[in-house]
Amino acid sequence: MKRLLKGGRVVDPANGIDGVHDVLIEDGRIARVGRDLPVDDATVLEIPSGLVVCPGLIDMHVHLREPGQEHKETVASGVASAVAGGFTAVACMPNTTPVNDNANVTLLILAKAAEAKLAHVYPIGAVSKGSKGELLADIAELKQAGCVAITDDGHPVATALLMRRALEYAGMFGMPVIEHCEDPSLKGDGVAHEGFHAASLGLRGIPGAAEALGVERGVLLSELTGSAFHVAHMSARASMRAVRNGKDVGVRVTCEVAPHHFTLTDEALGSPIPYDTNTKMNPPLREAADRDAMLAGIVDGTVDVIATDHAPHHYDEKKVEFDRAPFGIVGLETAVPLSLDRLVHSGLIRLPRLVELLSTAPARILRVPGGSLSPGSPADITILAPDLKVRIRASQLRSRSKNTPFDGWELRGGVAATIIHGRTVYVNPEMGSGVI
């Protein structure tokens, strides 16, 4: 079976392509990319001008909550949310109940993903058994079952020694260690960024230095071991400095930034809704200088990846006093509009760089298929509508949870359609019928 995507602007930074091309799909794989390809016996999909065809987006940091927290999200609802957000693949964090520290949990997640037949799911295993920070998890078993990286996300790896061992051991399998960077003693019982706004609202603070200490530790240990170290959800300017310095001297460090950290600041804690628990995440929304450092890192290349840290929570859990609410917001369905609006339309970066951040780089870091439209690759394709006017509506999200601070936001840029293995799995209803 052949499909021909005809006439869109194709952006594929891995192959240096940015221009009007056709994409031929054969048996779920990319067959050719080129100008005016012959139709032959292919089904033609005309791509309206103004739309962008790019390799499928990959979110390397999501919480799918299954097994154990299905009231927040399931693998099925999570991948439905993913494809609606333009993601053809997600990597899911191991802090489920039980923790994904063995093949049984990994295989369960993969079975649920196969059943859902939407976005690809790449499980990430735990660094330590139960993510308790004591004994290493069976990392070879996790790898064999399908895990693509390891992390104790939600918490930092307990000690420098364990982190060293994890880097050395996982390095044997070419798996990166992904770290939730944080010094627990400096974080204390903090619930918001330590700054003027937390001081004013009487919220206990978490200084940026708590994160940067964890980043510095990881960079040093990556240098010591020669293994790949990836900083999750980076938020503080001192962390950016540490990654930049590490890269300058050749350390194998990479990092990701979440859309909320390049969009919002701690001012959101008090306004427009004071103490809105949807402004509570870890790491916290930081001050303007930190937000600007995230933008600068995206522009200068220090930041490798945009990842959402999609963290669904049930409304009961968020409808409490600020300091009792869990950390985190959903992100899969708001990432593309925020990225296009805040990064591309603001003039900071161009589309090929955005595709690199959302597709090419995560595929490279996790060593998973996709990230390019090279012939032979799976036909995982996202079609972007960079000029679509998008209004975020929390109630309309496909995710089982609606915890977003962006409800009601109007943004420029969205997803037109999502194609996985050549099959269209999502069409944005806002595009009007028959357009895609």
Partner 1 sequence: MSTTSQELDQKQAVTALRRKDLLGIAELSPGEIELILDTAEAMKEVGTRPIKKVPALRGKTVVNLFFEPSTRTRTSFEIAEKRLSADTLSIAIGTSSVVKGETLADTALNLEAMSPDMIVLRHASSGACHFLSRVCRSAIINAGDGMHEHPTQALLDAFTIRERKKQLAGLKVAIVGDLLHSRVLRSNIHLLTKLGADVWVCGPPTLIPTDIRRFGVTPTSVVEEAVRDADVIMLLRIQLERMEGAYFPSLREYFRVFGMTEERLLLAKSDVMIMHPGPMNRGVEIASEVADGPYSVILDQVANGVAVRMAVLYLLAGGVEHEEAA
The residues assigned a catalytic role are 309
User: What CA–CA distances, in Å, run from 75 to 67, 90, 104?
Assistant: 9, 10, 15
| Residue 238 C-beta: closest distance to partner 1, Å | 15
Residue with smaller CB distance to partner 1, 200 or 346: 200
| Residue 192 C-beta: closest distance to partner 1, Å | 10
Q: Which stretch binds partner 1 (CB under 8 A): 101-109, 133-141, 198-206, 413-421?
A: 198-206
Angle between helices 75-84 and 103-116 in degrees, nearest 10: 50
Q: Is the Cβ–Cβ distance between 164 and 221 less than 8 Å? A: yes
Within 272-311, which residues bind partner 1 (CB under 8 A)?
273-275
Coil vs helix vs strand at 41: coil
Residue with smaller CB distance to partner 1, 198 or 306: 198
Sheet holding 120-123, edge to edge: 57-62, 87-92, 120-123
Kindly state whether residue 195 participates in binding partner 1, applying the rule CB under 8 A.
yes
Kindly state whether residue 205 participates in binding partner 1, applying the rule CB under 8 A.
yes
Kindly state whether residue 200 participates in binding partner 1, applying the rule CB under 8 A.
yes
Kindly state whether residue 184 participates in binding partner 1, applying the rule CB under 8 A.
no
Within 234-273, which residues bind partner 1 (CB under 8 A)?
273
CA 66 from centroid of its chain's CA atoms: 18
Omega before 312 cis (within 30°)? no
The secondary structure element, H or E, covering residue 44 is: strand 43-46
Kindly state whether residue 203 participates in binding partner 1, applying the rule CB under 8 A.
yes
Residue with smaller CB distance to partner 1, 324 or 350: 324
Residue with smaller CB distance to partner 1, 21 or 318: 318
| Residue 12 C-beta: closest distance to partner 1, Å | 46
d(CA 197, CA 361): 35
Kindly state whether residue 83 participates in binding partner 1, applying the rule CB under 8 A.
no
| Residue 277 C-beta: closest distance to partner 1, Å | 9
Residue with smaller CB distance to partner 1, 205 or 312: 205
* Pair of tokens at residue 323: 């300091």
| # of chain residues touching partner 1 (CB under 8 A) | 21
d(CA 335, CA 17): 23
CA 275 from centroid of its chain's CA atoms: 26
User: What CA–CA distances, in Å, run from 34 to 372, 375, 416?
Assistant: 14, 11, 22
Residue with smaller CB distance to partner 1, 44 or 288: 288
Within 336-395, which residues bind partner 1 (CB under 8 A)?
none
CA 100, 104, 110, 115 torsion: positive or negative?
A: negative
* Interface with partner 1 (CB under 8 A), residue from 16, 19, 202, 347: 202
| Residue 395 C-beta: closest distance to partner 1, Å | 18
Q: Is the Cβ–Cβ distance between 357 and 305 less than 8 Å? A: yes
Contacts of 317 (CB under 8 A, 6+ apart): 72, 325, 326
Kindly state whether residue 114 participates in binding partner 1, applying the rule CB under 8 A.
no
Within 315-344, which residues bind partner 1 (CB under 8 A)?
316, 319-324
Contacts of 135 (CB under 8 A, 6+ apart): 128, 129
In this structure, which amino acid lies at residue 285? L
Q: Is the Cβ–Cβ distance between 275 and 207 less than 8 Å? A: no
Residue with smaller CB distance to partner 1, 94 or 405: 405
Kindly state whether residue 161 participates in binding partner 1, applying the rule CB under 8 A.
no
d(CA 212, CA 159): 16
| Residue 223 C-beta: closest distance to partner 1, Å | 32
Residue with smaller CB distance to partner 1, 201 or 220: 201
Through-space distance between the first and last CA atoms of the chain, rounded to whole angstroms: 18
Which residue has 């930074």 as its token pair? 13
Within 39-58, which residues bind partner 1 (CB under 8 A)?
none
| Residue 303 C-beta: closest distance to partner 1, Å | 26
| Residue 202 C-beta: closest distance to partner 1, Å | 3
Residues that bind partner 1 (CB under 8 A): 194-196, 198-205, 273-275, 316, 319-324
